[in-house]
Amino acid sequence: MNSSLELALAKKVLPGFGFFGSYTFDRLKVSVDAVVDEVQLEVRNKTPSYLNITRVLFYGKNGELLDFAKVCRSATISSNFEKEPLNVHSLLKAGALIHSDKEKIPSLILDLHSSIYISRIEIANRSDSYGVRSKHLVVISLDGGVEIGRFDNFCGQRLLSAYREILEGIGFSNDFTLAGMNQVDIKANEIRAALAKKISDGSLKYNLPTLISFLPTYDPNPLVNNDVLIFMGGVIANLILDTGTTETAQLNAFKKILITPKRIIRAIEHASIIYSHQYGKPTTLIAGKHKIGRSELSEKKEENLKVMNIVRDQLKAWSIDSVICYGTLLGAVRNQAFIAHDDDVDMLFFYGAKSEAEMMKKRLEVLEKFKEAGYDTHNSGINFTVIPPGCLVGVDLFPEWSNKKQTSLMMEHYKYRMIDTDVLLPTKTIEFYGHEFDVPNQVERFLEERYGTSWSQANPFYEWPWELELHEEWPRRQSVRSLNAKRTVMVAWGQVVGTTETSPPKNSPALISKAISENFDAIEIDVRLSKDSVYVLGHDDVIIGKQGSKIQISKTSSKQLSQFNLGDYQKKANPVITLEKALLLMEDKVVMLDPRVSEDELPKLRKTVDKAGFEPGKILFCGYGDAGVKALNVHFPESVILYKYYGSHVEIDDFVLEELMEKQVDGLMLFWPMHYEDCKPFMKRLKKYGLQVLFYVHGSWPARGEVDKPEASLSQMITAGADYVTSTGSQLSSFKKLVKQPLIDSLGINKTPKKYKLLKGNR
């Protein structure tokens, strides 16, 4: 097999290879197994980058953690993002972020006190999305200035070795041939589907680093299908198998994958199946805002009730009143049971504090009382956990302080605020699993204060550790698209019309004119904002014109841009034109619009379209990511909005299609299927969901290593019922035959009022 294609395939099969995070389970673990006196860390990317890490841990001969200060004499970083001197050694010792400036090879030098045997080094990444910067980290061990070992986190040979081991594990031969990147996509999907199946049925077990390598952790807008969620479920199941539970916040590094409640639910379902296979009995795992694991409150119901009684009675013995509160109270009132996704028992105690300072003093007194009584305790800073002697579960206790009419207590997002004291006092009692417990005076009002008016409806994602995307809360757009095409719509690609030798400059007036003369149904154009905030045509911010001249759109006025020659065509210059002018040139054509701007700039785009008098119903939009699509839904509800993926239709399963429907898009944009691909089954599934597709990459695949048979592939897409195809092939017989047929009913635009309607959804 071609070595470059094999490496490309390995990257597709293992998209998260080399990823590491900040927690014990996902830190980078580098074997050293040598005597060293210096360690160097470098980021060796192809482009200038940053070095961002939070901790370096050294381990000794017997695997023991060594004292960083005793091992490391000094730590020097090549530059500092903040431009001020920092004590890097102290930051690393404390587990705080160190952040280089942007450099060609940012580096960190750790000078050890003396030559010492190191078995391994663990490196903790930053825990947010910027952790991807450490992908190309290189760790070099030295002694006496001589290199002892080198670990390249994203080494091609390591990646290939891991990939070949994966193939062997699922019984795949590696002797197949690939003609180009399209076949790489197809084969990668086949391999990943086989992997997901074997992980799900328990016939294959992988360690956490391998499972994480199956996840698209580096992609800022990952395509998440069911196979990805099986791999995510494998990560969660393994974490729980190791410890019995896992803190939800530890999955923060994967929040782009777990960005919706639906994805979390599906991943936990897969985790339950995988866990059950390995645990040896059927188990349902539960996701909560604090922890993910078995439902410990329900499984240990009697022990938790026993402990609640013990702690309540102990407080009473000290003349301290208490009530069950928060999640425990919510379950008792709403479900008459512990909430399945809750993970601890909550009680609020009243100890007569009149101020915050007095509250902190008195909580310490109570904490000491429990310690003296033989309880195990865990101090969280304000609230604390107590576990009675001989018990395995505990109660979370929360203090308060009061000025008589109002009481300050911990509420949403762990912050203290005042509520009316008569909501809490005098206390009342309720029966819970046959036991009587004190509760606030006005239970429903307390729950409304804490959880809002919807407290009576179960929501396991309330105050989730990271912000979730709730598609059902997006503004509702018009449900009927304006463009009703009778057949496949032929879109003139905004980069090329005709053969490359005879094509006008991209995004030029001549290109629009030629696309019209060649009978394309629609014309694709890219738009950006000039320095004076005018929408102009341009794919990249820096555009190259006649004889290699360059100009930057964002730093140039629209007037200056209009004097820049993109290139001559038929002996005529082609200036950069405004979107408004381009729309006036379109005649009766549909426009495929690719807005290369942030979502914040889309209101201005709407104003430009309206000013030009162009019917929004004749626009197909290329939508990038959830934020961009959401904004398009708001500002162009009449237009056709297509979600763009940089991939093949083979990756799109029912889970992806269901999400697209929830996002209220009309369809998606995908790579053009080659002549040897049968896209009919995909089109059949797509139509089941009432969605459309635009296939792009434009009659051939030379940049991806293959040459297509455009006549065959275009004919196949037309037969399969593809909605839109970008094509350079106006000379093809299938193209000529197609464009002779009527495109849309009565020129087919469902007329909408000039001022569009935005239908509000329920929140």
- Indicate the average pLDDT of the chain: 91
Looking at the chain, the number of H-run helices and the number of E-run strands are: 23, 33
Give the closest residue to 179 by CA, choosing from 739, 761, 692, 675: 675
Which three-class secondary structure state does DSSP give residue 476? strand
Quickly list DSSP for 547-575: GG-EEEGGGS-HHHHTT-B---BTTB--B
End-to-end Cα, the chain, rounded Å: 54
Average pLDDT of 431-454? 94
* Global pTM value: 0.90
Average pLDDT of 102-108? 96
Are 523 and 515 in contact, with CB atoms under 8 Å apart?
A: yes
Q: What is d(CA 231, CA 216) in angstroms, rounded to the nearest whole number?
A: 10
Measured over the CA atoms of residue 484, residue 489, residue 493 and residue 496, the dihedral's sign is negative
Give the closest residue to 463 by CA, choosing from 396, 409, 413: 413
Pairing state between β 522-529 and 489-492? parallel
Measured over the CA atoms of residue 243, residue 247, residue 252 and residue 257, the dihedral's sign is positive
Q: What angle do CA 401, 405, 408 make, to 5 degrees?
A: 30
Q: What is d(CA 729, CA 665) in angstroms, rounded to the nearest whole number?
A: 28
The kind and range of the H/E element at 33 are strand 28-43
Look at residue 465 in the predicted model and tell me its pLDDT: 92
DSSP 159: H
Q: Which two tokens stand for residue 683?
A: 């089109």
Q: What is d(CA 721, CA 733) in angstroms, rounded to the nearest whole number?
A: 17
Give the closest residue to 412 by CA, choosing from 436, 381, 386, 446: 446
Give the closest residue to 409 by CA, choosing from 308, 325, 311, 289: 325
Quickly list DSSP for 347-396: EEEE----SHHHHHHHHHHHHHHHHHTT-EEEE-SSSEEEE-TT-S--EE
- The model's confidence at residue 127, banded by pLDDT at 50, 70 and 90, is confident
Q: Which two tokens stand for residue 488?
A: 């496949």
Are 338 and 304 in contact, with CB atoms under 8 Å apart?
A: yes
Residue 544 predicted with pLDDT over 50: yes
Q: What is d(CA 243, CA 3) in angstroms, rounded to the nearest whole number?
A: 41
Give tens-digit pLDDT for 407-428: 999 998 889 999 999 999 999 9
Look at residue 258 in the predicted model and tell me its pLDDT: 97
Q: What is d(CA 528, CA 539) in angstroms, rounded to the nearest whole number?
A: 7
Give the closest residue to 398 by CA, choosing from 505, 305, 320: 320
Q: What percent of the chain has pLDDT over 90?
A: 80
Give tens-digit pLDDT for 640-653: 999 999 989 999 99
Q: Which conformational region is residue 301 in: left (phi greater than 0), alpha (psi within -120 to 50 degrees), or beta?
A: alpha
- The model's confidence at residue 298, banded by pLDDT at 50, 70 and 90, is confident
Q: Which two tokens stand for residue 660?
A: 């697209």
Give tens-digit pLDDT for 594-612: 999 999 999 999 999 999 9
Average pLDDT of 129-133? 87
The kind and range of the H/E element at 239 are helix 226-243
Residue ranges of E strands in 571-712: 590-595, 619-623, 640-644, 667-671, 692-696
Q: What percent of the chain has pLDDT over 70?
A: 96
Query: Which whole-number Å values give the CA distances from 646 to 306, 565, 601, in the listed order?
Result: 56, 31, 23
Which three-class secondary structure state does DSSP give residue 236? helix
Pairing state between β 692-696 and 724-727? parallel
Q: Which two tokens stand for residue 523?
A: 């014309």
758 versus 583: the higher-pLDDT residue is 583
Residue 710 predicted with pLDDT over 70: yes
Give tens-digit pLDDT for 158-214: 999 999 999 999 999 888 888 888 899 999 999 999 999 999 999 999 999 999 999
Look at residue 702 in the predicted model and tell me its pLDDT: 62
Amino acid identity, position 259: I
Look at residue 95 in the predicted model and tell me its pLDDT: 92
Q: What is d(CA 566, CA 411) in angstroms, rounded to the nearest whole number?
A: 60
- The model's confidence at residue 1, banded by pLDDT at 50, 70 and 90, is low
Give tens-digit pLDDT for 346-392: 999 999 999 999 999 999 999 999 999 999 999 988 999 999 999 99
Residue 482 predicted with pLDDT over 70: no
- The model's confidence at residue 343, banded by pLDDT at 50, 70 and 90, is confident
- The model's confidence at residue 707, banded by pLDDT at 50, 70 and 90, is confident
Q: Count the Cβ atoms, other than its own, within 10 Å of residue 752.
A: 17
Give the closest residue to 580 by CA, choosing from 557, 558, 560: 558
Indicate the burial class of 321 (C-beta count within 10 angstroms; 0-12, 13-18, 19 or more).
middle
Q: Which two tokens stand for residue 353?
A: 């504090």
Are 338 and 300 in contact, with CB atoms under 8 Å apart?
A: no
Give tens-digit pLDDT for 69-104: 999 999 999 999 987 778 999 999 999 999 999 999
Query: Which whole-number Å values give the CA distances from 244 to 154, 280, 294, 343, in the listed order?
Result: 32, 14, 8, 12
Give tens-digit pLDDT for 223-252: 999 999 999 999 999 999 977 788 999 999
Residue 700 predicted with pLDDT over 60: no
Alpha helix (H) residue ranges in 553-679: 558-561, 579-585, 602-611, 625-635, 654-662
187, HSE (Cβ side, Cα atoms, 13 Å)? 23
